[in-house]
Amino acid sequence: MFKVELSLNGDFVDSYECEAIVTVKEIISRHSLSGLDTIIFKLNNEFVNSNKIIAEDAVLDCIGFNSEEGFRIYQDSAIFIMAKVFHELFDRRWNLIVKHSIGDGIYCEAEGEEIFLEQHLDILRKEFARNVSRELYIERVEMTVDDATNIFQQQGRDDIIKNFQFNQTGYTVVFRCGDYYDYYIRQLSDNTGIISEYDLNYISPGFCIRFPLISTRQVKPVFNYPRKLFNIHQEADRWLNILDIRNIGDLNKKVKSNNISEDIQIEEALHEKKLVAFTDEISARKDVKVILVAGPSSSGKTTFSKRLSIQLQVNGIKPIILGLDEYFHPREITPRKENGEYDFESIRAIDLELFNNHLKSLLEDKTIELPKYDFVSGTRKKSNQNLKMEANNVLLIEGIHALSDELTKAVPAQKKVKIYISCLNQLNIDRHNRIATTYFRKIRRLVRDNYFRGYSAEMTLKRWSHISEGEHLNIFPFQEEADLIFNSGLTYEINVFKKHALPMLYRISKFSNVFTEAQKIIWLIEHALDIPDDLVPTNSILREFIGGGIFKY
């Protein structure tokens, strides 16, 4: 007799007494969990398929679509099916390159001498649907690197083989469906039938594979194409072409041959060139008096603002930083979340009336007394500090709500510039394994939190869903409203962060509910060869996270 505890996304659902061995599928059949509730399973915190046998006390956790982990697995599983179908239909005619997120999906490009047309996508769409309806088994297979190399040579996947040379174990894990093999750094679902909701939209020279919203579990009927953000991704692609780096294998090759230093200087110079272009554009708009900077966590907003400030001063403009934190409402009228906690990320937590009155006064050449917020008592106090703008001053405001017109409704549109900043990574592990921007930001944050805020990597990963929730509510919906977009991502950063992040992640226990997430990040980082910190310029955005920079934070 043994007991199996059943949970969903880590939350207890039920427990069962078992007299004989059972499979995961049999336990699930005893409950009403199905479909998108069960993307994949964990048995005692390790991924298993539905045929896994249970013979002793265990905790069986169903990972559902409405969790971040489940959503990522759903995306990767859909991409695996798409790659399989693409290979079977268009082998050697085009190379499928999984690029980056765009709107509610992932943009993919068909790279070849011919142009990939919408009629080709129609063929792909039909075969994709057929593979889903057949509910084909996706098997996780461990094999030697030599055997995997032979398989991927037959499939023309030199991009995967290139990374095997840095494998120290001699073994690797691949996924198989029928005769098709592919390499993925994350877990996949074990059945093609789980991908019940998706759509494919043509965007020359490729297409977007779209996914359902977590809230509705359905794909939006209309594709909102974020053109500005897409153009920034395409610009990042051109930067990679300048560097002659398309994936982490190319990057490692340059590290190994000691040729990376010049690439670092080129990439940092591209950042500086973009900053100069922004400054010149702002300077040319003589009416601009307010610069607003917003972006998701760990985008490097603080360093960006300091570097932008320097470039503005080169042009004779003196920025004044106006801190939003000082304009919080007293604690007793701060809005609360559904669970009763204070919602400091809500725009209603800011005294919008006072803030806009101050903005209006400053733009009318009047003097204001800056507020001072006491975070311990949750009250506003007198600062006895006055502010008046001079002719060559501009206000620089950085914050989560900076792109929202509601924050600065007292400022006419021609007097303000909105800047969106994010770490928009373009580097892939290989053609089908993109490194999601979220992972770059997670790595940045867990390193900075550990060094400068006293948080362990485990604490940061546990808090990430809360951080992400605020971003999806208050930042991402406004990104297309930005006048300027800055990509703070640096191709070489994963190699720099490796030495910092791995020891922090290794300390996370296998019994932690963020253990598998930590393992995914470890597996990702382990693909990179180390780049010493002393190659990172002291004014680089990376210095905000690893320290040793020239700016004070």
CB 57 within 8 A of CB 2: yes
Q: What is the pLDDT of residue 343?
A: 87
Average of pLDDT values for 171-178? Answer: 95
Q: What is the pLDDT of residue 49?
A: 85
Residue 441 has pLDDT above 80, yes or no: yes
CB 296 within 8 A of CB 487: no
- The CATH homologous superfamily to which domain 2-64 belongs is Beta-grasp domain (3.10.20.30)
How does residue 92 score in pLDDT terms, banded at 50, 70 and 90?
Answer: confident
- From 439, 442, 440, select the one nearest 458 (Cα to Cα): 442
Q: What is the pLDDT of residue 164?
A: 87
Instruction: Give residues with Cβ within 8 angstroms of 55, minimum separation 6.
Output: 2, 21
Average of pLDDT values for 424-447? Answer: 91
Question: Please, what is the Cα angle at 93 between 89 and 99, to 5 degrees?
Answer: 85
Q: Percent of the chain scored above 70 by pLDDT? A: 99
Average of pLDDT values for 460-471? Answer: 89
3-state secondary structure of 456: coil
CB 363 within 8 A of CB 415: yes
CA atoms within 13 A on the CB side of 317: 25
CB 489 within 8 A of CB 424: yes
Average of pLDDT values for 446-450? Answer: 96
- From 401, 304, 410, select the one nearest 358 (Cα to Cα): 410
Q: What is the pLDDT of residue 25?
A: 87
Residue 172 has pLDDT above 80, yes or no: yes
Task: Identify the residue whose tokens are 């004044």.
Answer: 320
- Name the pairing type of β-strands 95-102 and 206-210: unpaired
Domain ranges (residues) in the chain: 2-64, 69-227, 248-546
Q: What is the pLDDT of residue 274?
A: 96
The single-letter code of the amino acid at 38 is T
Residue 166 has pLDDT above 70, yes or no: yes
Q: What is the pLDDT of residue 60?
A: 92
- Name the pairing type of β-strands 416-422 and 484-487: parallel
Q: What is the pLDDT of residue 407?
A: 95
Average of pLDDT values for 83-110? Answer: 94
- Name the pairing type of β-strands 290-294 and 393-398: parallel
Average of pLDDT values for 359-381? Answer: 92
Rounded Cα gap, residues 310 and 8, in angstroms: 51
Task: Identify the residue whose tokens are 């999984």.
Answer: 98
Rounded Cα gap, residues 324 and 303, in angstroms: 17
Q: What is the pLDDT of residue 344?
A: 84
Residue 383 has pLDDT above 70, yes or no: yes
Domain 248-546 class? alpha beta
CB 219 within 8 A of CB 197: yes
pTM reported for the whole predicted model: 0.88
Average of pLDDT values for 417-435? Answer: 92
How does residue 99 score in pLDDT terms, banded at 50, 70 and 90?
Answer: very high
- From 421, 475, 436, 489, select the one nearest 101 (Cα to Cα): 436
Per-residue pLDDT tens digits for 467-524: 888 888 889 989 999 999 999 999 999 999 999 999 999 999 988 989 989 998 998 8
Per-residue pLDDT tens digits for 215-224: 788 898 888 8
Q: What is the pLDDT of residue 175?
A: 97
Per-residue pLDDT tens digits for 321-358: 998 889 999 998 999 888 888 888 889 999 999 999 99
CB 521 within 8 A of CB 501: yes
- From 185, 174, 94, 180, select the one nearest 140 (Cα to Cα): 174
Per-residue pLDDT tens digits for 271-314: 999 999 999 999 999 999 999 999 999 999 999 999 999 999 99
Q: What is the pLDDT of residue 56?
A: 93
As beta bridge partners, residue 199 has: 210
Q: What is the pLDDT of residue 1?
A: 87
Per 3-state DSSP, the chain is made up of helix, strand and coil in percentages (nearest 5) of 40, 20, 35
Per-residue pLDDT tens digits for 231-276: 999 898 888 888 999 889 899 999 998 889 999 999 999 999 999 9
**Which residue would you say has higher pLDDT here, 457 or 14?**
457
User: What is the rounded average pLDDT for all residues in the chain?
Assistant: 92
Average of pLDDT values for 453-476? Answer: 90
Kindly write down the DSSP assignment for every residue of 363-409, as one continuous string: HTT--EEEEEEETTTTEEEEEEEEE---TTEEEEEESTTTT-TTTTT
Residue 110 has pLDDT above 90, yes or no: yes
- Give the CATH architecture of domain 69-227: 2-Layer Sandwich (3.30)
Q: Which two tokens stand for residue 192?
A: 């093609």
CB 58 within 8 A of CB 5: yes
Which secondary structure element, helix H or strand E, spans residue 26, and what is its range? Answer: helix 24-29
Per-residue pLDDT tens digits for 113-122: 899 999 999 9
Q: What is the pLDDT of residue 78?
A: 96
Per-residue pLDDT tens digits for 34-63: 667 788 899 998 888 888 999 999 999 999
As beta bridge partners, residue 7 has: 12, 61
Q: Percent of the chain scored above 90 by pLDDT? A: 67
Rounded Cα gap, residues 17 and 8, in angstroms: 18
Q: What is the 3-state secondary structure (H, E, C) of 63-75?
A: ECCCCHHHHHHHH
Q: What is the pLDDT of residue 34?
A: 63
